[in-house]
Amino acid sequence: MDLRIAVLPGDGIGPEIVEQAVKAINAVCTLYGHKVEYTYALVGAAAIDKVGNPYPEETHQICMDADAILFGAIGDPRFDNNPKAKVRPEQGLLAMRQKLGLYANIRPVNVFKSLIDRSPLRRELVEDADFICVRELTGGIYFGKPQGRSEDGQTAFDSCVYTKAEIKRICKLGFEYAASRRNQLTVVDKANVLATSRLWRETVQEMAPSYPNVDVEYMFVDNAAMKLIQQPKHFDVIVTENMFGDILTDEASVITGSLGLLPSASIGVHTSLFEPIHGSYPQAAGKNIANPIATILSAALMFEYAFNLKAAGASIRKAVNMAIDGGMVTEDIATTGKAYSTTEVGDFIVKNIK
Q: Averaged over 171-198, what is the pLDDT?
A: 97
Instruction: Tell me the per-residue pLDDT of 287-331, one tens digit each, with 9 for 90 and over.
Output: 999 999 999 999 999 999 999 999 999 999 999 999 999 999 999
Give dist(CA 139, CA 340) in Å, integer: 40
According to CATH, the topology of domain 120-256 is Isopropylmalate Dehydrogenase (3.40.718)
Q: Which amino acid is at 353?
A: I
> Across-strand partners of 5?
38, 68
Give dist(CA 340, CA 354) in Å, integer: 20
Tell me the CB-side half-sphere exposure of residue 173, using CA atoms within 13 A. Answer: 25
In terms of DSSP bridges, do strands 263-268 and 273-276 run parallel, antiparallel, or are they unpaired? antiparallel
Active site residues per annotation: 142, 190, 222, 246, 250
Instruction: Tell me the per-residue pLDDT of 43-102, one tens digit each, with 9 for 90 and over.
Output: 999 999 999 999 999 999 999 999 999 999 999 999 887 777 788 999 999 899 989 999
CA angle 192, 241, 207 (to 5 degrees): 80
What is the per-residue pLDDT for 250? 87
Q: Where are the domains of the chain?
A: 1-103+260-354, 120-256
Instruction: Tell me the per-residue pLDDT of 193-227, one tens digit each, with 9 for 90 and over.
Output: 999 999 999 999 999 999 999 999 999 999 999 99
| Identical topology for domains 1-103+260-354 and 120-256 | yes
Peptide bond into 89 cis (omega under 30): no
Give the single-character DSSP code of 185. Answer: E
Q: Burial of 66 by CB count in 10 Å (0-12 exposed, 13-18 middle, 19+ buried)? A: buried
CA angle 256, 318, 20 (to 5 degrees): 80
pTM: 0.88
CATH number for 1-103+260-354: choose from 3.40.640.10, 3.40.50.720, 3.40.50.1970, 3.40.718.10.
Answer: 3.40.718.10
